[in-house]
Amino acid sequence: MLVPGSVIGILGGGQLGRMIALAAAELGLKTHVLCPDKDSPAFQVSAHHICAAYDDRDALDRFAAAVDVVTYEFENVPLSTAEFLVARVPLKPGAKALAVTQDRLLEKTFVRDLSIETAPFAAVDDLAGLERAVAALGLPAVLKTRRFGYDGKGQVMIRPGDDLTAAWHALGRQSAILEGFVAFEREVSVVAARRGDGAFSAFDVTENVHREHILHTSTVPAALTAETAKRARIIARTIGDALDYEGVFAVELFVVGRGAGERVVVNEIAPRVHNSGHWTQDGAVTSQFEQHVRAIAGWPLGEVSRIGRAQMTNLIGADVHDWHALLAEPGAHVHLYGKDEARAGRKMGHVVRVKRDPDVCANIPEEGC
Amino acid sequence: MLVPGSVIGILGGGQLGRMIALAAAELGLKTHVLCPDKDSPAFQVSAHHICAAYDDRDALDRFAAAVDVVTYEFENVPLSTAEFLVARVPLKPGAKALAVTQDRLLEKTFVRDLSIETAPFAAVDDLAGLERAVAALGLPAVLKTRRFGYDGKGQVMIRPGDDLTAAWHALGRQSAILEGFVAFEREVSVVAARRGDGAFSAFDVTENVHREHILHTSTVPAALTAETAKRARIIARTIGDALDYEGVFAVELFVVGRGAGERVVVNEIAPRVHNSGHWTQDGAVTSQFEQHVRAIAGWPLGEVSRIGRAQMTNLIGADVHDWHALLAEPGAHVHLYGKDEARAGRKMGHVVRVKRDPDVCANIPEEGC
């Protein structure tokens, strides 16, 4: 268990690392950030950082020597980096979470082996394999690289009649997975925390809307039956346990069917704090960032209840130019990431709006302070 | 008006500077901290700092050149420092707020000249002056240094029968003020923000309990008539306007009398974020730290409404050793300042507890997100 004053090392200096660092600071912890990008947003809020490549062993050695635990903000930390660090300092979440989630085929297989439903999938290693997979799963389907994809990158939609050779070349002829189409009603996610000893806590299920493969809004509560919401949390716990997970993670799910036929299908696991959990900063008693810090510190997990109905909206690219109007909107919580250049598709910040929820009001204990 | 990405310079690296820096970061602003103490808590959360004395002109020159605006976390910034900086970069709040609040005699006179009631007071420059002041105001009374007092330091209580010569020597024979005793029912404060163009916003009046001259708890709402609470806010606005104030400030008040006879008497003005406003971090829509940043940036002031009944408890000295139990308390918001040594009387952190307030629930708009 960490004590206040300990140093959390963070691999990755983007907005997630930045918000982890800010949450750690509120709890009296220090941070140290390693990232190859000299303009890393997280560098701005941490007294110490190392600007170096993830495979720079001298830098990793210095980093490991300066911190009490290492965590990460992205799932594409090279496994060799993770293994190098693990030999020197605790890594939380552990290397297993990285190994499973870095590879879409391993991840889907892992989930299916837990008897949890996923989209139908098949491995694709060459054009002949793609033809076999299409014959098995049908079209439309999505061809995805096994590794290093995010926000819609590294994937090609294949519709009936499309040329398979073209799709295979578009993806760069690398090891891939074909995922069958899921006719979902909506997309939701569970953001949950697990401590090394198995303590588990999940925020309310969040409903997510994407635009051009990038998260646009997250809304809680999600429009789900209580039973489906419960099932989604159980799935998250099952996955967390199977990964011996430590920290916050997200499980993205498709909601399929309606009413009594409603069910959830796992789409993806993110072994880190997640964009769909940003609403917790202003809409829950504990934020996902604080929760992640508590979990990796071995501290008691925080209270996850909502303080209202919440909606998070991402500020992508030029959206951030509305910052002044957003600051003027009563009750809008504006979060900006300290990035200079508002490039198209770049996550620049987000806004959280919290409204009254009569159910929440009724649930808060009334006794005085 | 600042734009996101601008740099706020902070004089003083204690917990207040630290929490200003954290709030600035959430809004996409950078910070730069100047403080003579190499172990400054604020250094931990800011990429840039200068460890130098406040009268080190080379350091101040570098500091001014690196920031877009300067603010401060304590009222004892030397006036020569303030004037040196003002010639180079905007200082917010301005030098006038420092000049008035650094000197208890000037401050009380300033407030009285606004037709706002203060404790009875008299200047004391020598022992004979002390004798005259005691004859005029009666005893008990408190003899305070005009300058550099805080948390009960620089003051001597004089009770009937006490030796005036001893009191005068105990204070170090320096320019002083004698303050008549105010038989108060309770102590409250108004934490408010004012922007350069006169925009003003005050958080709900807070009720404060001190232990050994150090703030112990702050509770909102304070037990006051609506009329008295309104009067307290008007006093804050009058003071803010008279100081051409920019930023967050606190007015500490004594509540005297009861029921229809209830009134408030100004005790002290703090030209900075204030310990009695820490509850806003978890109990109000906008925290005082974010509000201060918005005000000095020239940005729209944030929504100040409460989200419940809130109580802030300071963790002084060894209190902080309870950190683990506090983290385990459902819904308790723990804030630690990153200080190593838990010396007696040292502010190490605070806890905010927020409970349901049926009035607040009724006031939050119910429309969906």
Nearest alpha carbon to residue B113 among B243, B249, B251: B243
Beta carbons within 8 Å of A56's beta carbon, 6+ residues apart:
none
**Is the model's pLDDT at B250 over the cut of 70?**
yes
**Is the model's pLDDT at B369 over the cut of 90?**
no
B112-134 confidence digits (pLDDT tens): 999 999 999 999 999 999 999 99
| Closest-approach residue (CA) in chain B for A25 | B45
Residues of A in contact with B294 (CB under 8 A): 327
Q: Kindly give the interhelix angle for A288-297 and A15-26, rounded to the nearest 10 degrees.
A: 70
| Closest-approach residue (CA) in chain A for B293 | A327
A38 close contact with B: CB closer than 8 A = no
Q: Which of B:278-307 have CB within 8 Å of A? A: 285, 294, 299-300, 302-303, 305, 307
Nearest alpha carbon to residue A272 among A4, A14, A5, A39: A14
Q: Kindly give the interhelix angle for B79-86 and B57-66, rounded to the nearest 10 degrees.
A: 40
| Closest-approach residue (CA) in chain A for B48 | A47
Is B63 annotated to bind ligand? no
Mutation site, A45, A206, A282, interface B, largest B CB count within 10 A: A45
Nearest alpha carbon to residue B124 among B156, B150, B94: B156
B114 close contact with A: CB closer than 8 A = no
pLDDT value of position A367: 42
A366 close contact with B: CB closer than 8 A = yes
CB burial string B59-93: b at 16+ within 10 A, e below: bbeebbeebbbbbbbbbebeeebbebbeeebbbbb
Tell me whether the omega of the peptide bond preceding residue B330 falls within 30 degrees of 0, making it cis. Answer: no
Residues of A in contact with B308 (CB under 8 A): 364
Say how far apart CA B156 and CA B145 lie, in whole Å: 9
Cross-chain residue pair B5–A338, CB shorter than 8 Å: yes
Q: What is the number of alpha carbons within 13 Å of residue A321 lying toward its C-beta?
A: 6
pLDDT average, residue stretch B298-309: 96
- pLDDT classification of B106: cutoffs 50, 70, 90: very high
So what's the ipTM on this one? 0.94
pLDDT value of position B357: 80
- pLDDT classification of B152: cutoffs 50, 70, 90: low
A161 dihedral zone (left: phi>0; alpha: psi -120 to 50; beta) = left
| Closest-approach residue (CA) in chain B for A219 | B369
Give the distance from residue B204's alpha carbon to the nearest chain A alpha carbon, in angstroms. Answer: 16
Give the distance from residue A239's alpha carbon to the nearest chain B alpha carbon, in angstroms. Answer: 25
In degrees, rounded to 5, the angle at the alpha carbon of residue B284 between the alpha carbons of residues B278 and B288 is 45
Say how far apart CA A191 and CA B244 lie, in whole Å: 47
pLDDT value of position A257: 96
Q: Which of B:181-220 have CB within 8 Å of A? A: 219
Q: Which of B:127-186 have CB within 8 Å of A? A: none
Token code pair at residue A108: 């889907």
Cβ B93 vs Cβ B86: under 8 Å: no
**Is the model's pLDDT at B102 over the cut of 80?**
yes
Cross-chain residue pair A44–B26, CB shorter than 8 Å: no
Is A144 annotated to bind ligand? yes
The DSSP result for A267-333, as a single string, is EEEESS--GGGTTHHHHBSS-HHHHHHHHHHTPPPPP--BSSEEEEEEEEGGGGGGHHHHHHSTT-E
Residues of B in contact with A353 (CB under 8 A): 369
- pLDDT classification of B153: cutoffs 50, 70, 90: confident
Token code pair at residue A192: 């949950």
Report the sign of the C-alpha dihedral through residues B277, B279, B280, B281, in that order: positive
Question: Which segments in chain A show pLDDT lower than 70?
Answer: 149-152, 360-369
Say how far apart CA A158 and CA A171 lie, in whole Å: 11
Is B30 annotated to bind ligand? no
| Closest-approach residue (CA) in chain B for A284 | B331
B321 close contact with A: CB closer than 8 A = no
Cross-chain residue pair A356–B336, CB shorter than 8 Å: no
Cβ B306 vs Cβ B283: under 8 Å: yes
Residues of A in contact with B14 (CB under 8 A): none
pLDDT average, residue stretch B303-331: 97
pLDDT value of position A173: 86
Say how far apart CA A242 and CA A231 lie, in whole Å: 16
Cβ A35 vs Cβ A21: under 8 Å: no
| Closest-approach residue (CA) in chain B for A26 | B335
A152-183 confidence digits (pLDDT tens): 678 999 999 999 999 999 998 889 999 999 99
Give all domains of chain B, ordered by start, each with its CATH number. 7-91 (3.40.50.20), 120-180 (3.30.1490.20), 186-363 (3.30.470.20)
The number of residues making up chain B comes to: 369
pLDDT, mean over chain B: 95
Q: Indicate the range of A140-149, A287-296, B60-69, B309-318 predicted with least confidence.
A: A140-149
pLDDT value of position A369: 27
A13-67 confidence digits (pLDDT tens): 999 999 999 999 999 999 999 999 999 999 999 999 999 999 999 999 999 999 9
B39 close contact with A: CB closer than 8 A = no
B174-199 confidence digits (pLDDT tens): 899 999 999 999 999 999 999 999 99
Instruction: With H, G, I as helix, E, B as strand and everything else as coil, classify residue A340.
Output: coil
- pLDDT classification of B309: cutoffs 50, 70, 90: very high
pLDDT value of position A153: 75
Cross-chain residue pair A365–B353, CB shorter than 8 Å: no
